[in-house]
Amino acid sequence: MNIPLFNAEAHAPLMMIYTKGENINKRAAMVMNLKGGAAMEIVQPTSFKATHADQNFELGDLGIFIGTYKTPDLKIALEHFKSNGQKIISEGVKTPNGKETFFVQDPDGLILQVLESNEWYTGYNHPLGGNIGCTIACSDIDEARKLYSDILSYDKPIYDKTGVFEDWKDLPGGNREFRRVLLGRSNPNKGGFNKLSGATQIELVQDLTDRKKTKMYEGRMWGDIGFVHLGFDVRNMVDLGEKLDKAGFGFTCDTKDVLSMGESTRVHCTYIEDPDGTLIELIEVYKIPILEKLGIYLNVEKRDPNKPLPDAMLKALKFMRIKD
């Protein structure tokens, strides 16, 4: 994930309701892989030290528990992680719909899942692509789908299974009974980066035991270690906000005016919460760098929001690649 759409340090007044009223300072980098897949945002607080929670979370605790990434060859990707000394949690297992997968732990202890894919934008020579989704635990999947399916358009069930699952047997708490619903989209994604990001998925999980489930960010700071939010690139933020508000998922915070993410990036940013308080970030992008060193930027406001960016413009992002 070595192409930064932005990489800047700034205060985060938008997040004060999630930072105990403190206007924190943080460094944030939105990075992507030109091979294909969605982008991810890496955040490091600079005005305080990000910490783990006081307890160890398990599958079924409420929030985002797993980040999912894609590869063209699962065996090569697995060896890549092993050769770089990363901790493999589970390998040689299959998902409920029969796809082989493995799980690896990142340096902060977060769990990543890797799945094989044949959907790629470029032939960039790396064994891993970008993000394709995540696993979110909720207290009631049917309630959660009122947001994820009805509004955010993850309306296509790929599987809906209940039981004890082979692929989770070595994950924390993975030996209990769960309901798992993997959701895709019945309508293809639209937008400038769609050819690059490709198809994405969200897996909703419900622990069916009577174990007390903990909200993973309750009482913690936004920016503490974990998967703090799920992000969406959106258009027509005002109209979307009205729809969300009517459905009971109104903005919890809103930049209202355009937010600068350094000199080269301008966005409108809002947050909502799912029924269990999991944070969802909505971003409407107005300006992003294409070749920042040459002063070349993309002004998204002047484009048809459903029209994909030209291949030449997307592939020019390779000149932003961080090589060290």
- Rounded Cα–Cα distance for residues 23 and 73 (Å): 44
Instruction: Read off the amino acid at residue 36.
Output: G
Say how many CA atoms lie within 13 Å of 240 toward its Cβ: 22
189 close to 197: Cβ distance less than 8 angstroms: yes
Q: What is the pLDDT of residue 194?
A: 87
pLDDT tens, N- to C-terminus, the chain (324 residues): 999 888 889 999 989 999 999 999 999 999 999 999 999 999 999 999 999 999 999 999 999 999 999 999 999 999 999 999 999 999 999 999 999 999 999 999 999 999 999 999 999 999 999 999 999 999 999 999 999 999 999 999 999 999 999 999 999 999 999 999 999 999 877 777 889 999 999 999 999 999 999 999 999 999 999 999 999 988 888 899 999 999 999 999 998 754 555 555 677 899 999 999 999 999 887 766 666 555 666 666 667 767 788 888 888 888 888 887
288 close to 265: Cβ distance less than 8 angstroms: yes
Q: What is the pLDDT of residue 305?
A: 67
Cα distances from 56 to residues 43, 106, 239, in angstroms, run 21, 15, 40
Q: What is the pLDDT of residue 312?
A: 84
Q: What is the pLDDT of residue 300?
A: 66
Which residues, 6+ apart, have CB-to-CB distance to 220 below 8 Å?
A: 53, 226
- Rounded Cα–Cα distance for residues 170 and 162 (Å): 18
- Rounded Cα–Cα distance for residues 176 and 178 (Å): 6
Q: Give the DSSP H or E segment for 70.
A: strand 63-71
- Rounded Cα–Cα distance for residues 168 and 103 (Å): 9
Domains of the chain: 3-320 (3.10.180.10)
pTM of the model: 0.93
- Rounded Cα–Cα distance for residues 248 and 251 (Å): 10
Q: What is the pLDDT of residue 294?
A: 56
Q: What is the pLDDT of residue 259?
A: 54
Q: What is the pLDDT of residue 7?
A: 86
Which residues, 6+ apart, have CB-to-CB distance to 171 below 8 Å?
A: 59, 89, 90, 103, 111
Q: What is the pLDDT of residue 48?
A: 97
Handedness of CA 173, 110, 152, 200 (dihedral sign): negative
- Rounded Cα–Cα distance for residues 16 and 24 (Å): 8
Q: What is the pLDDT of residue 267?
A: 75
Q: What is the pLDDT of residue 296?
A: 62
Instruction: Read off the amino acid at residue 158.
Output: I
- Rounded Cα–Cα distance for residues 179 and 276 (Å): 16
Q: What is the pLDDT of residue 245?
A: 96
249 close to 282: Cβ distance less than 8 angstroms: no
Q: Where are the beta strands (DSSP E) in 138-217?
A: 156-163, 178-184, 201-207
